[in-house]
Chains A and B, each alone.
Chain A
Amino acid sequence: MTELLQNLIDGLGRGSIYALLALGVAVVFGIMHMLNFAHGELITIPGYLTFWAFNNGWNWWTVVPLIVVSAVLSSLLIERIAFSRVRGATDFTMLLTSFGVHFIVAAGFLLYVSASVKTIPRPGWFANTVSVGSLNIEVFDLAVIAVTAVVLAGTTWLLQRTMFGLALRAAASDFDTARLMGVKSDSVIRGAFALSGFLAGIAGVFWIMREGQVTPTAGINPMLQGVLAVLIGGLGSLRGAVLGGLVLGLAEVLLRSWLPLGIQNLTTGFVFLMIALLFIFRPGGLLSVPQVERV
């Protein structure tokens, strides 16, 4: 029982980061119908800035805003340079464009910074735990869960209560009609990328802290987790994305603890196997959005 609770908290901590990443991917997908394979770069770019900042005497208090702001700016910049040029193109084109952007950023760091691993100091409290009864809970997990809860609440408020949120939802459900109402297409798309960048920035703070390092290809894993979580939850659903992230995190932690010792290092493989089974039995994901076929 204790172990299960322990694992649940671990899993939620992990899943919260995935949920933030997935929500960012889903917001952009909703508005542009592009699955952003370059979403992980919103962690890689701030990651290198973090490395630079620590070398110049910054500390975590100042680095956190740096990560978030740079993630938002990177998101906007990438949209401006690359994605704005393929708006309305085929899905095939948009997928490959975002994949190409990932590659340019990764190769750029490889080329002009270094191929080697850059380490980033973790904050002092990182490994601390607090005891509740027989549970040993990592402070890091608690911080992730708390911050994610606040950010998700804030995002919900933004989407439900502000004009920007309404415009974003309207444009996601019917872009042309939203424009007929006067929603400016440029602003709403840029807004979506800014929001996506902000969510990635928050996730990035924890991701960078946890990894304690950055490499040119650091974006691959967060991107994959985010994209998979979106699919698990159901393409086209924001709630699904959050749910998918949490489920993915929980599945990883629970599987790791349930698998026999000898094959524990294959956990990721088994997670993928479970996802595959989910897709086979529920191709639309957990909260599938009905796809209407237009004749």
Chain B
Amino acid sequence: MLEVTGLTTKYGAISALRDASLSVGEGEVVGLIGPNGAGKTTLLGSIAGLLPIDSGSVSFEGTDITSAAPEKIVRSGLALVPEHRRIFADMNVEENLKIGGVTVTAGERAELLTEMADLFPVLRKKWDTAAGFLSGGEAQQLAIARALMSKPKVIMMDEPSLGLAPILVDLVFDLIETLRSQGRTILVVEQNATRMLKAADRAYVLRSGEVVASGSGAELLERSDLFDTFVGGGR
């Protein structure tokens, strides 16, 4: 469904991503793990059109979307829940959700709003609260709900458990499970590698901008060298 081939992205002189490739099939939950600074966020940002791509290609459902504008990419059905959530703090929960649904018709938007209110009871309680006042867990749910408002075929999440207390991390993974059971396709960047590998069908390990390992979640979990690969031992 989503094919990334040989992606290289630079920040000024920094190569944040070197020749990275991955693919996501329909209905899959794919994890992307790796240490800080490995290029995970850059990879998602490049796919979503936020960052200029130096070389390589991204195709979605057979259409080339390399370096397309982000507003175009989301319209094609590929949504990103950005790192640090990036919710609109001055706007209330409902307004945030509405903006998430800027690409759909007014009728669909109303339907989706009800759907989100059911899926996220926490948000329903805070419907008119300015999003800046939400707790970390609530804000993360809002960020995910906001992305769902565009009726995406694939949803990408960048570190959804970042900065959350352990109990809320559980909640995020439960949510991923729920979305999977609805048959959605998900690509998740996570630092919590073990949890991610357990939740994912397949996963890729990124290090210094390169894909250094991939396989099913279970396979990767078995790899005894994972800790070393992960934190940079064994060189």
What is the interface of chain A, defined by CB distance below 8 A to chain B? 163, 166-167, 169-170, 173-174, 176-185
Contact = CB atoms under 8 A, between A and B. Distances in A.
A170 B86 CA distance: 11
Given A183-B71, A183-B102, 6 more contacts: A179-B71, A180-B82, A180-B86, A181-B99, A181-B102, A182-B103
A187 to B, nearest CB: 9
A182 B90 contact: no
A179 B71 CA distance: 5
A111 to B, nearest CB: 40
For the residues of A in contact with B, the DSSP-based class is helix
A184 B71 CA distance: 6
B160 interface: no
A179 B70 contact: yes
Given A178-B99, A181-B99, A182-B103, A170 B88 contact: yes
Residue from A169, A179, A181, A184 with most neighbouring chain B CB atoms (10 Å): A181
Contacts, number: 63
B86 A182 contact: no
Contact of A181 (B50, B90, B150): B150
B86 A174 contact: yes
Most buried by B among A167, A170, A173, A180: A180
A181 B91 CA distance: 14
Interface string B82-125: 10001011110001001110110010000000000000000000
A138 B69 CA distance: 53
Contacts of B82: 177, 180
Contacts of A184: 71
Contacts of B53: none
Contacts of B71: 179-180, 182-185
B74 A173 contact: no
Q: Which of A166, A182, A183 has the most CB of B within 10 A?
A: A182
Contacts of B50: 176, 179-180
A181 B95 contact: no
B102 A182 contact: yes
Interface in B47-78: 48-50, 69-71, 74-75
A179 B69 contact: yes
Nearest to A165: B95
A176 B90 contact: no
A181 B69 contact: no
Contacts of B202: none
6 tightest CB-CB pairs across the interface, nearest first?
A182-B103, A179-B70, A177-B86, A182-B74, A170-B99, A182-B102
Given A176-B50, A180-B80, A167 B99 contact: yes
A127 B155 CA distance: 63
Given A180-B80, A181-B146, A166 B98 contact: yes
A173 B88 contact: yes
A180 B70 CA distance: 5
Given A173-B90, A177-B88, A182-B150, A167 B102 contact: yes
A174 B99 CA distance: 12
Contacts of A182: 71, 74-75, 102-103, 150
B96 to A, nearest CB: 8
Contacts of A181: 74, 99-100, 102-103, 146, 150
Contacts of B49: 179
26 contacts: A163-B98, A166-B91, A166-B98, A169-B88, A169-B91, A173-B90, A176-B70, A177-B82, A177-B86, A178-B88, A178-B99, A179-B71, A180-B48, A180-B71, A180-B82, A180-B86, A181-B99, A181-B102, A181-B103, A181-B150, A182-B71, A182-B74, A182-B102, A183-B99, A184-B71, A185-B69
B169 to A, nearest CB: 23
A79 B88 CA distance: 26
B37 to A, nearest CB: 15
B82 to A, nearest CB: 6
Contacts of A174: 86, 88
A166 B113 CA distance: 15
Contacts of A178: 88, 99
Contacts of B103: 181-182
A181 B82 CA distance: 10
Contacts of B150: 181-182
A126 B88 CA distance: 45
A66 to B, nearest CB: 33
Contacts of A180: 48, 50, 70-71, 74, 79-80, 82, 86
Nearest to A167: B102
